Structure 1
Amino acid sequence: MLALLLDFCFGIAMGALGGFFGIGGGLIAIPVMTLWFDQSQTLAQGTALIMMVPNVVLAFWRYQQRTPLNWSLTIPLGLAALISAGIGARAAITMDARTIQIGFALLMLLLAAMNIFRARLIASPKAIAHATSCRLAALGGGCGALGGFFGVGASVVAVPILTSVFGLSQVAAQGMALSLALPSSLITLITYGTQGHVDWQMGFAMALGGLLSVSWGVNWAYRAPEKLLCGLFSCFLTASAVLLFFRH
């Protein structure tokens, strides 16, 4: 019972942070679960997805209320992610967990660098490329495959690209990225679950906690300066990556 209560409280914290950063909480939860809960990389990824799916639904709805999306661009993004996420997830469950962990740490360092670069552009954001259905479908496909492989939801890769390449604001990019995170997270969870890489009891407790707090995180995101969002996110990613490199 105590373990379930701790998992529930952990879910509350991850839900709030996931809503704040627009990533569903998985990127934050997974390194914590591997480092503190001593779970394998694939088990942490699969379990975190139980929390992520409902959190992403609620966060997407909250962002949509504040920043309505262009559905003609959003649908190709989400559909491409749905297709490619299953491919990435199937590849992950056949590989060594430590190899995936090192790759996960490298991904976080890359995202931290992209966030730092993006922070310098916030004062005068400029689009490098025009957002078209084809380009966003290509982005969704690539991000979906990475999200499926690392079990983090495709939005973690999409947000810095949507801001730095397509010139979207931080909160607008977070809202659109959630539209591809939902289908990709769902198909990834199914893939991990059918292969036994999920702790369902812990995941459901985390999901209940996350549903209570994700709206708080979204509200904080709209109040916080964009440079602060980028800076905090980058610091967390860098610290987690360093710890994962030294975990045996």
Structure 2
Amino acid sequence: MPLFLLEAILVGFLAGYFSGQFGIGGGVLTTPAIRLILGYPALIAVGTPLVIILPTAVAGAYQYARKGLVDWALGLKIAPTGMVGVLVGSYLTRFTGGEVVMIATSLVLVAVAFRMIYGKEPILRAPQRSPMLPYLIGLVTGLFSGFLGLGGGLLMVPAFSGVMGRGIKTSFGTSLVLISVFALPGAAVHYALGHVDLRLALTLSLGVVPGAWVGARVAIGAQERVLRLAFGVFLIVVALLLAGTEIARTVG
């Protein structure tokens, strides 16, 4: 089996594993891996993950739904504005350089990581939450999903747990359900813009589904504090690698 094929399947499995474990869709790992390990252009690294996010998210969401760890009412409020945000965010990549998108991704990862590690109480308590808040969360996370190619889970998970007051496991499960919805319009726009390599997506998909299944089962049995800490540390490592590589390429 060619080395490239083995690398792509391994990347897919790891992306699926972390997707299922942390409710993030998998793009957080596949985007930098496609760019840094497999050597594809930056915008291909942004667009292609959205194609494989759908099977990844469905496989993980199924495990959480079986345990009652999905807030369906919250998901129904967020989905409509989220899909609008995905379409707008995906289209905006037409006007930016790929390197700008990669640096933006790393900054978002660091901000979210510190919130996950150090945030203990919800930012807003129940009486302070506007009825419109879920719709705003949907729009913002959708924009980031389409623009960064990361599925939206990076912001949905901390928004659900840190703003809406949901448990971390319920945040993971609900995020994966919404990621399944967000993936379709985002993938369609990036494909139309030429940012999707279908052959690469097919190869990665061989690993993502079993990875998501395993990751979700591990997370369901883990302690919530351990999950928050592991999620935050993981995001910081990925952000540093991604930003450092892009800066080195620009300077060099």
Tell me, yes or no, if the aligned pair for 2:70 and 2:171 is still in contact at 8 Å: no
- How do 1:1-248 and structure 2 match up within 5 A? 2=2, 3-67=4-68, 69-118=70-119, 120-121=120-121, 128-129=125-126, 134-247=132-245, 248=249
Shift of the 132–57 alpha-carbon distance from structure 1 to 2, 3 Å rule, reads farther
Structure 1 unaligned segments of length 5 or more: list them.
Answer: none
Please give the alpha-carbon distance, in whole angstroms, between the structure 1 residues aligned to 2:139 and 2:151. Answer: 12
1:224-246, Cα deviation, whole Å (9 max, x unpaired): 22222122221221122222222
1:117-150, Cα deviation, whole Å (9 max, x unpaired): 23x44xxx79623677632111111111111110
Instruction: Tell me whether 224-233 or 105-114 shows the greater mean CA deviation.
Output: 224-233
| Equivalent position amino acid for 1:9 in 2 | L
| Equivalent position amino acid for 1:63 in 2 | Y
Structure 2 unaligned segments of length 5 or more: list them.
Answer: none
After TM superposition, give the deviation of residue 93 of structure 1 in Å.
2.7
What's the TM-score, normalizing by structure 1?
0.91
Please give the alpha-carbon distance, in whole angstroms, between the structure 1 residues aligned to 2:123 and 2:91. Answer: 37
Please give the alpha-carbon distance, in whole angstroms, between the structure 1 residues aligned to 2:62 and 2:70. Answer: 11
Please give the alpha-carbon distance, in whole angstroms, between the structure 2 residues aligned to 1:77 and 1:137. Answer: 5
After TM superposition, give the deviation of residue 36 of structure 1 in Å.
1.8
Tell me, yes or no, if the aligned pair for 1:15 and 1:55 is still in contact at 8 Å: yes
Shift of the 72–20 alpha-carbon distance from structure 1 to 2, 3 Å rule, reads closer
What's the TM-score, normalizing by structure 2?
0.89
Tell me, yes or no, if the aligned pair for 2:60 and 2:213 is still in contact at 8 Å: yes
Please give the alpha-carbon distance, in whole angstroms, between the structure 1 residues aligned to 2:130 and 2:74. Answer: 7
Q: Which runs of 4+ in 1 moved over 3 A?
A: 68-72, 129-133
Instruction: Tell me whether 131-140 or 53-62 shows the greater mean CA deviation.
Output: 131-140
Please give the alpha-carbon distance, in whole angstroms, between the structure 2 residues aligned to 1:103 and 1:235. Answer: 18
After TM superposition, give the deviation of residue 41 of structure 1 in Å.
2.3
Please give the alpha-carbon distance, in whole angstroms, between the structure 1 residues aligned to 2:187 and 2:180. Answer: 11
Tell me, yes or no, if the aligned pair for 1:58 and 1:215 is still in contact at 8 Å: yes
Matched residue of 1:198: which SS? coil
Shift of the 71–246 alpha-carbon distance from structure 1 to 2, 3 Å rule, reads closer
| Equivalent position amino acid for 1:224 in 2 | A
After TM superposition, give the deviation of residue 39 of structure 1 in Å.
2.2
Q: Percent identity?
A: 25
Tell me, yes or no, if the aligned pair for 2:124 and 2:164 is still in contact at 8 Å: yes
| Equivalent position amino acid for 1:80 in 2 | T
| Equivalent position amino acid for 2:92 in 1 | A
Matched residue of 1:152: which SS? coil
| Equivalent position amino acid for 1:73 in 2 | L
| Equivalent position amino acid for 1:99 in 2 | V
| Equivalent position amino acid for 2:99 in 1 | R
